[in-house]
A and B are shown apart, each in its own frame.
Chain A
Amino acid sequence: GIQVEQSPPDLILQEGANSTLRCNFSDSVNNLQWFHQNPWGQLINLFYIPSGTKQNGRLSATTVATERYSLLYISSSQTTDSGVYFCAVLSGSARQLTFGSGTQLTVLP
C-alpha cells in the first residue's frame, strides 16, 4: 500500500513564529487531507487538497501531486495551534484514507 511520511515528528515553537510541515507520499493520490487533532482527540479537517494551493486564515497548504508531497504552512502561530497534525491520502483503488504518523506541534506562550 501507499506510504505516507510526515516531518518533522515534533516541533516546538514560540508563539508568533511561522512553521512548515511536510507530507511525502509514495504513489499518486486521488485525495489528500490535512487534519489537526486537538488535545481532546477531535480531528479537525483543515484542508482537502489533492493538488494546488489553498489558504484559510493563518493556514495554507500546497500539494505538488507530480512530486508526491504536500506542505502545510502555519503563520503567526498561537498556543491553540498546539496538537498533532496529520496528513492522510487516498490512492488508487483504495477506499479509505491512509494516515501519516503525524507532527506533534507545541506552541509556547
Chain B
Amino acid sequence: GAVVSQHPSRVICKSGTSVKIECRSLDFQATTMFWYRQFPKQSLMLMATSNEGSKATYEQGVEKDKFLINHASLTLSTLTVTSAHPEDSSFYICSARTIWGGSLGSNQPQHFGDGTRLSIL
C-alpha cells in the first residue's frame, strides 16, 4: 500500500529555534499534501493544504509566517515551525493523497505519516 514517511518522529528544542519536518510519499506521487496538528486528547485539525509548485493554503487562524510550508516536488513537502515557542508544542501529522490520471483523486484514500512530536522547552 501507499506509504508516507515523516521525519523526524520527535523533536525537543529550545524556545526560539526553527524546526523543519519532512513528509515524503515513498511509492506514489501526490500533488497535494496536508498538514494536521493534534493537541493532547483532541482530534486532528487541518493546518494547511500543500500543493506542489504553488503556495500552500492555510486554514483560518493558522499563521503562515509561523508555519512555512514548501512543496517542491510530487513526493516531498516540508513544514518549518519558525521561532518556535512552548505553545507550538504539539503532534504534527502529514498526509498525502494518490493521484491517478492527473486528477486530484478525491475518491482515493488519504495516507498519513507517523507524526512528529514537537516539544519546545
Contact = CB atoms under 8 A, between A and B. Distances in A.
Given A41-B91, A48-B109, A88-B110, 15 more contacts: A30-B107, A31-B107, A33-B110, A45-B112, A88-B44, A95-B49, A95-B104, A96-B34, A96-B46, A96-B95, A98-B46, A99-B43, A100-B43, A101-B42, A101-B43
**Chain B contact residues: helix, strand, loop or mixed:** strand
A92 B32 CA distance: 17
Interface residues of B, number: 23
A45 B117 contact: no
Interface in A74-103: 86, 88, 90, 95-102
17 contacts: A31-B106, A31-B108, A31-B110, A33-B109, A41-B38, A43-B93, A88-B44, A88-B110, A95-B32, A95-B104, A95-B106, A96-B95, A97-B34, A97-B95, A99-B44, A101-B42, A101-B43
Nearest to A41: B115
Nearest to A38: B114
Contact of B106 (A41, A45, A90, A99): A90
Contacts of A50: 107
A88 B46 CA distance: 12
A96 B49 contact: yes
A90 B109 CA distance: 10
A42 interface: yes
A102 B39 CA distance: 13
Nearest to A32: B109
Nearest to A98: B46
Interface string B49-82: 1000000000000000000000000000000000
